[in-house]
Amino acid sequence: MKNKYSIFSLIKNAFSYHENWQRAWKDPEPKKEYDAIIIGGGGHGLATAFYLAKKHKMTNIAVVEKGWIGGGNTGRNTTIIRSNYLWDASAGLYDHALKIWENLSQELNYNVMFSQRGVMNLAHNLQDVRDLKRRTHANRLNGIDAVWLNTEEVKKFCPIINTSPDIRYPVLGGTLQRRAGTARHDAVAWGYARGADAMGVDIIQNCEVKGIKRNGNVVEGIETTKGFIKTKKIGVVAAGHSSVIACMVDLKLPLESKPLQALVSEPVKPIIDTVVMSNAVHAYVSQSDKGELVIGAGTDAYVSYTQRGSHDVVEGTLKAILELYPIFSRMKMLRQWGGIVDICPDASPIISKTHIKGLYFNCGWGTGGFKATPGSGDLFAHTIANDEPHKLNADFNINRFVSGDLVDEHGAAAVAH
Q: Which residues bind other proteins (CB under 8 A)?
A: 241, 243-244, 247, 252-257, 301-306, 309-312, 342, 345, 401-404
* Shortest distance in whole angstroms from residue 312 CB to other proteins: 4
Residue 60 DSSP one-character state: S
Would you say 294 or 340 has its CB closer to other proteins? 340
* Relative orientation angle of helices 43-56 and 373-386, to the nearest 10 degrees: 50
Q: Are 110 and 191 in contact (CB under 8 A)?
A: yes
* Shortest distance in whole angstroms from residue 408 CB to other proteins: 13
* Shortest distance in whole angstroms from residue 345 CB to other proteins: 5
Q: What does DSSP say about strands 61-64 and 36-39: parallel, antiparallel, or unpaired?
A: parallel
Would you say 10 or 303 has its CB closer to other proteins? 303
Would you say 243 or 383 has its CB closer to other proteins? 243
What residues have CB less than 8 Å from 296, skipping those under 6 apart? 78, 80, 260, 261, 262, 284, 285, 317, 415
Q: Which three-class secondary structure state does DSSP give residue 145?
A: coil
What residues have CB less than 8 Å from 405, skipping those under 6 apart? 395
* Shortest distance in whole angstroms from residue 22 CB to other proteins: 38
Tell me how far CA of residue 207 lies from CA of 57, 106, 113, 191, 279, in angstroms.
25, 31, 30, 21, 38
Helices (H), 117-172: 126-141, 151-157
d(CA 21, CA 9): 9
d(CA 108, CA 25): 13
* Shortest distance in whole angstroms from residue 283 CB to other proteins: 18
* Shortest distance in whole angstroms from residue 19 CB to other proteins: 42
Q: Which three-class secondary structure state does DSSP give residue 334?
A: strand
Would you say 271 or 406 has its CB closer to other proteins? 406
* Shortest distance in whole angstroms from residue 238 CB to other proteins: 11
* Shortest distance in whole angstroms from residue 364 CB to other proteins: 11
* Shortest distance in whole angstroms from residue 257 CB to other proteins: 6
Would you say 22 or 399 has its CB closer to other proteins? 399
Would you say 70 or 259 has its CB closer to other proteins? 259
CA angle in degrees (0–180, nearest 5) for 146-136-158: 55
Would you say 189 or 398 has its CB closer to other proteins? 398
Would you say 165 or 404 has its CB closer to other proteins? 404
Would you say 194 or 241 has its CB closer to other proteins? 241
Q: Are 132 and 177 in contact (CB under 8 A)?
A: no
Would you say 36 or 344 has its CB closer to other proteins? 344
CA dihedral 394, 399, 371, 206 (to 10 degrees): 120
* Shortest distance in whole angstroms from residue 352 CB to other proteins: 14
Residue 117 DSSP one-character state: -
Residue 43 DSSP one-character state: H
Q: Are 263 and 275 in contact (CB under 8 A)?
A: no
* Relative orientation angle of helices 185-198 and 43-56, to the nearest 10 degrees: 30
d(CA 15, CA 164): 56
Q: How crowded is residue 94: how many other Cβ atoms within 10 Å of its Cβ?
A: 26
Would you say 120 or 359 has its CB closer to other proteins? 359
* Shortest distance in whole angstroms from residue 298 CB to other proteins: 13
